[in-house]
Structure 1
Amino acid sequence: MARRKKGLPIDGWLVVDKPQGMTSAQVVSKARWALRAQKAGHAGTLDPLATGVLAVAFGEATKTVPYVTDALKAYAFTVRWGASTTTDDAEGEVIARSDLRPDRAAIEAALPDFEGEIMQTPPAFSAVKVDGERAYDLARAGEQVALAPRPLWVESLTLTDIPDPDHAVFEMVCGKGGYVRAIARDLGRVLGCGGHVTQLRRIWAGPFELADAVSIEALEAMRDDPDAAARLLPVEAGLSGLEEIPVTAEGAGRLRAGQPAPALRADAEYGDAVWASHDGRAVAIGVYKGGQVHPNRVFAAD
């Protein structure tokens, strides 16, 4: 006899303004508790130091998480010059100091090398796996962690403020897998003064923005709100980066059975990732080939 799942079968997205000091997993657990949901996950981990947009997916929306994780994201962050740390942020131990402070011209001259397709080495204190273990576990145990550089797309990196000689504020838009802490570390190295992140805030992630977000206090209050689920964004909100392909009711049935279905209309090209809809509701995510949607993820019927 199959075990009954605990919680309610809730589907949709909730954007939380993650507070400093909480892990992304703790926010997801809190969200699942607040809505009494069976299943929840998130799109794009934020460090405990970081705040801002954390998109939490419930139920069927978890099937769209990879498409939000892969989307561009924007960050506002502050770098403190003159000190390098073990973690590349303010929580680590200082391992080097410098009296040098870069001026605006020097900072702006360095930024173009951090835009476009770059190679970035993740921080030693990161979730990257090394021989099956997390790098941060090895680093905390005192082991030397040598991580390989990996490609990262940086759409833009802009200096927005210099509040004092010790600090500079930036905004960055980047693709999946970017570490803001590594940007601060590497900028400090290029400028010859060292640097680390003191504040970090994600201001949007794919289709989700701070304007959509609820505070952790508002999230906790949802526990006593019988209509809390009505505040969720639809499952389809996580698919804004893919083209929508409408299908007939018969086509929706075929897709849910794992079979291709003809598109009613499409501007997609052969091989594009798309999502199929019927009456505006997501039916499947798949690949567009020869006028048909070939499903690889299917959504449950209402």
Structure 2
Amino acid sequence: MARGRKGNPISGWLVVDKPAGVTSTAVVGKVRWALNAQKAGHAGTLDPAATGVLAIALGEATKTVPYITDATKCYRFVVNLGAATNTDDAEGEVIATRDSRPSDAEIEAALGQFRGDIQQVPPQFSAVRVDGERAYDLAREGEQMELAARPLFVEKLEVISRPSADQVELEMICGKGGYVRSIARDLGEALGCLGHVAWLRRVWSGPFRAEEGISPDEIERLSRTPELEARLLPVEAGLTGLPRVEATPEGAVRLGHGNPGMVLGNLPWGTEAWAAFEGRAVAVGRYQSGELHPARVFVLPPAR
């Protein structure tokens, strides 16, 4: 006889404003414990030293994680100029230094090559897999790797301030898979002075904003209380980047069983969309001639 999953079948999103010094995995564990949730995961990791938006999906919301992972994100960060580190951030060991410092005009001119569709090599200390192993595990053993460049779309990369000759504060809006540490490293190399990330904050990720996030301390204070559960955003919050169509009553039943169902809408053939019925998400799939062909089906209680 199969064992039931421990915890409560809670579904929704909790936006956490992650502080520095804690891993994303640890935050997920704290949230899952505090809500006694059966299932939890995050939509895009943050380095331990980074702060800002860490969106935690619970229950059925985990089915919408890919849509937040793929969403546009905004980062604020400071680059320390004049030194490279083995981790490309201030947590690492300095491996090279330069005395030169760029002017404001030189920084502005160099940023252009990091906008639009670019190719970016991940940091040596990253979660990229190399022959089945994580790059950061190999890097800790002293191995130098030739990591393949990956495509990244950078919508915006601008100077926010120049605190000193040794630092520049930037804001970047980018697509999926961006490494801020690589931007700092490559900008420093382009300027001829070297560079690494001093601090980093994810300001927003898709629909989720840091200023709306809850701190881990507050999560602990409100653990196992209705007040914490009240902070959850609905599963549908993870679908705001997709078109919405309304399922007919019969269509909702068919979609709920994983079959194509009739929806009210007029989208181009093959468009990925989500269907709602009585205000709740029913399924995500492809629109074809008045029907949604489901790829993911949600099991949610009726709206209260």
Q: TM-score range by the shorter chain?
A: over 0.9
CA shift, 1:289, in A, is 1.2
SS class of match (1:5): coil
Deviation at 1:11, TM superposition (A): 0.5
Tell me the equivalent position of 1:275: 274
Q: Structure 2 stretches of 5 or more lacking a match?
A: none
Q: Does 1:112 align with 2:112?
A: yes
1:35–1:222 CA contact under 8 A, matched in 2: no
Cα distance per residue 1:81-127 (max 9 Å; x no partner): 00000000011111110111111100000111100000000000000
Letter in 1 for 2:87: T
Which residue of the partner structure matches residue 83 of structure 1?
83
Query: What percentage of residue pairs aligned between the two structures are identical?
Result: 61
**What is the aligned partner in structure 1 of residue 202 from structure 2?**
202
Contact 2:76 2:171 in 1 (8 A): yes
Q: Deviations over 1:35-87 (max 9, x none)?
A: 11110000011001100000000000000000000000000000000000000
Letter in 2 for 1:279: E
CA distance in 2, matches of 1:133, 1:27: 24
- What SS class does the counterpart of residue 223 from structure 1 fall into? coil
| Contact 1:82–1:166 (8 Å) recurs in 2 | yes
Partner of 1:95: 95
Return the alpha-carbon distance in structure 2 between the equivalents of residues 262 and 160 of structure 1.
49
Contact between 1:83 and 1:193, CA under 8 Å: does it hold in 2?
yes
Could you list the runs of 5+ residues in structure 1 that have no partner in the other structure? Answer: none
Q: Secondary structure at the match of 2:284?
A: strand
Shift of 1:224: 4.4
Which amino acid in structure 2 is aligned with residue 56 of structure 1?
I
Is the 2:17–2:211 Cα contact (8 Å) retained in structure 1? no
Q: Which aligned runs of 4 or more in structure 1 are off by greater than 4 angstroms?
A: none
Give the aligned partner of residue 254 of structure 1.
Answer: 254
Partner in structure 2 of residue 297 of structure 1: 296
How far the C-alpha of 1:225 sits from its partner, in A, is 1.9
Once residues 204 and 89 of structure 1 are traced to their aligned partners in structure 2, the CA distance between those partners, rounded to angstroms, is 21
Give the structure 2 partner of residue 65 of structure 1: 65
In the alignment, the residues of structure 1 paired with residue 31 and residue 49 of structure 2 have an alpha-carbon distance, to the nearest angstrom, of: 19
SS in 1 for 2:88: coil
Aligned residues, how many? Answer: 301
RMSD: 0.9
Return the TM-score normalized by structure 2. 0.97
Q: Any idea what SS the aligned residue of 1:263 has?
A: strand
Indicate whether 1:167 and 2:167 are aligned.
Answer: yes
Q: Which residue is 2:30 aligned to?
A: 30
Give the Cα separation in 2 of the matches to 1:83 and 1:44: 28
Q: Is the 8 A contact 2:12 2:232 kept in 1?
A: yes
After superposing the two structures, state which structure 1 stretch, 9-18 or 209-218, moved more: 209-218
How many angstroms apart in 2 are the aligned matches of 1:20 and 1:227?
25
Q: Secondary structure at the match of 2:143?
A: coil
Q: For the Cα contact (< 8 Å) 1:124–1:136, is it kept in 2?
A: yes
User: Does the aligned pair in 2 maintain the 1:9–1:38 contact within 8 Å?
Assistant: yes
**d(CA) in 2 for partners of 1:154 and 1:281?**
34
Q: Is the 8 A contact 1:260 1:293 kept in 2?
A: yes
Structure 1, 256-265 or 38-47: larger mean CA deviation: 256-265
1:228 aligns with 228
Residue of structure 2 equivalent to 1:219:
219
